[in-house]
């Protein structure tokens, strides 16, 4: 990946305040972002398979204490370290939508089971609503609801420095995929409206969750808007875009899928059968075309009898995938850990 060079370029073009610590991280993890200062915070916590590394990085940045983990949304690559940080005293803050579903152990939590992306059970200590102002690190940040990629997706806006934490709303090279099957036919239009709101903030720096920090902020926003418009204009294309992402992620966290069980794996996935219905296709035909198309595009490769993702990614220890689905998570105790009795931090 060229990200090291890009980060260097970015640091020259967009110097970050000393209280913002950002580090690119390959899939299957979201990038690392810590806000240090009187309220030390980690934004998103990576995939469960690398939770220890996430905690160690966060503690190295913050001098050993993370008061809050703030989640931009509940996908597995953003919440996988929540439990590990909660175990050492951090509180978890997330969008109201996600907080309520996590509290009732809704089977749809984190879209974990649906996407076949394991998440270690966690609780949410603080629900975040649009427009709230939170002291994070050394500055006040505004919560910006940015639904589309998921219904609860939020961004964080620091108006003085004009820093925008974008989560998966966009990156330097793409825009968040949307799920019309789960979130309805308007999901892509919702994402586009959110993007327009973000553009309206006129951010200086986009703190992205994947890939480098864009060197050219307006160009990154304009590119994302074009891509988001395309997903609105081409609903079938949006379905394809989503399932390619979901399948590539499945291959990354599993070290590939054995070729002789590939069809079986795909046909057992709700995301595949839902996509087939949206595309008016039979699931077996769609599974075959998905694999063939990704092979042709060079997005997947075959080695040692397994189909693997071609994009750079970090290996995951298989044992880390042994997590209960949210329907089997232990009941969430009433918020009583970490920040709940602490009125100094983001908990207000
Ligand atoms: Zn996501």
The distance from CA 174 to its chain's CA centroid, rounded to whole angstroms, is 13
**Residue-level pLDDT at 156:** 98
pLDDT of residue 8: 54
Distance 73 CA to ligand 1 centre (A): 7
Tell me the pLDDT tens digit for each residue of 224-257.
999 999 999 999 999 999 999 999 999 999 999 9
What is the 48 CA–ligand 1 centroid distance (Å)?
14
What distance in angstroms lies between residue 150's CA and the mean position of ligand 1's atoms? 7
What confidence category does residue 5 fall into, taking pLDDT thresholds of 50, 70 and 90? very low
How remote is the CA of residue 75 from the centroid of ligand 1, in Å? 5
Distance (angstroms) between ligand 1 centre and the Cα of 343 equals: 30
pLDDT for the residue 333? 73
Q: Are strands 154-158 and 139-145 parallel, antiparallel or unpaired?
A: antiparallel
176 CA from centroid of ligand 1 (Å): 7
Judged by DSSP in three states, 39 sits in strand
Computed over every residue of the chain, the mean pLDDT equals 93
Q: How far away, in angstroms, is 65 Cα from ligand 1 center?
A: 26
Please answer whether residues 127 and 99 qualify as being in contact, where contact means their C-beta atoms are separated by less than 8 angstroms. Answer: yes
Distance from residue 239's CA to the centre of ligand 1 (Å) = 15
| pLDDT confidence of residue 15 | 83
Convert the pLDDT of each residue in 47-83 to its tens digit: 999 999 999 999 999 988 899 999 999 999 999 999 9
pLDDT confidence of residue 64? 86
Sequence-distant (6+) residues with CB within 8 A of 65 are 40, 59, 89
Separation between Cα atoms, residue 101 and residue 143, nearest integer Å: 19
Per DSSP, the residues of 268-287 read: T-HHHHHHHHHTT--HHHHH
Which pTM does this prediction carry? 0.92
For 152-177, the pLDDT digits (tens) are 999 999 999 999 999 999 999 999 99
What protein residues have CB closer than 5 angstroms to ion ligand 1? Answer: 75, 168
Instruction: State in Å: Cα 277 to ligand 1 middle.
Output: 23
Q: How far is the CA of 178 from the centre of ligand 1 (A)?
A: 9
Q: Which pLDDT does position 12 carry in this prediction?
A: 62
CA of 241 to the centre of ligand 1 (A): 13
Distance from the alpha carbon of residue 58 to the mean position of ligand 1, in angstroms: 21
The answer to whether residue 20 scores a pLDDT higher than 50 is: yes
Distance 168 CA to ligand 1 centre (A): 5
Distance 72 CA to ligand 1 centre (A): 9
More confident residue, 93 or 337: 93
Q: Is 141's pLDDT higher than 70?
A: yes
* pLDDT value of position 9: 58
Output the CA 149–ligand 1 centroid distance in Å: 7
How confident is residue 339, by pLDDT bands cut at 50, 70 and 90? very low
Burial label for 305, CB within 10 Å (0-12, 13-18, 19+), is exposed
Name the strand (E) or helix (H) holding 162. Answer: none
CA of 336 to the centre of ligand 1 (A): 28
Residue 76 has a pLDDT of 98
Residue 310 has pLDDT above 90, yes or no: yes
Question: What SS3 class is residue 262?
Answer: helix
- Tokens read off for 236: 């079938």
């Amino acid at each position: 990946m060229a990200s090291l060079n890009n980060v260097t370029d970015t640091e020259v073009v967009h110097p970050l305040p000393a209280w913002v610590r950002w580090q690119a991280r390959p899939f299957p993890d979201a990038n690392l972002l810590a806000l240090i200062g009187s309220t030390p915070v980690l934004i998103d916590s990576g995939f469960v398979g690398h939770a220890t590394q996430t905690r160690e990085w966060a503690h190295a940045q913050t001098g050993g204490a993370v008061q809050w983990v703030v989640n931009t949304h509940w996908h597995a690559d953003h919440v996988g370290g929540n439990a590990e940080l909660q175990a050492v005293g951090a509180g978890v803050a997330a969008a109201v939508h996600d907080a309520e579903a996590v509290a009732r152990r809704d089977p749809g939590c984190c879209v974990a089971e649906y996407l076949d992306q394991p998440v270690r059970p966690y609780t949410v200590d603080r629900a975040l609503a649009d427009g709230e102002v939170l002291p994070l690190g050394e500055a006040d940040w505004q919560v910006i609801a940015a639904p589309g990629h998921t219904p609860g997706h939020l961004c964080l806006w620091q108006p003085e420095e004009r820093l925008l934490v974008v989560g998966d709303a966009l990156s330097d090279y793409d825009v968040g995929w949307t799920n019309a099957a789960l979130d309805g036919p308007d999901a892509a239009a919702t994402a586009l409206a959110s993007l327009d709101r973000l553009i309206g903030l006129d951010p200086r720096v986009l703190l992205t969750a994947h890939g480098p920090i864009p060197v050219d902020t307006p160009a990154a926003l304009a590119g994302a808007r074009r891509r988001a418009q395309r997903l609105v204009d081409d609903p079938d294309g949006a379905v394809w875009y989503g399932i390619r992402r979901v399948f590539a992620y499945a291959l990354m966290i599993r070290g590939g899928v054995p070729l002789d069980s590939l069809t079986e794996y795909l046909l057992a996935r709700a995301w595949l059968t839902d996509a087939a219905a949206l595309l008016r296709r039979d699931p077996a035909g769609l599974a075959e075309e998905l694999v063939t198309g990704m092979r042709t595009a060079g997005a997947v490769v075959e080695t040692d009898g397994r189909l693997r993702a071609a994009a750079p990614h970090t290996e995951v220890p298989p044992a880390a995938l042994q997590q209960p689905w949210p329907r089997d998570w232990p009941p969430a105790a009433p918020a009583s850990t970490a920040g709940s009795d602490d009125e100094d931090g983001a908990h207000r």
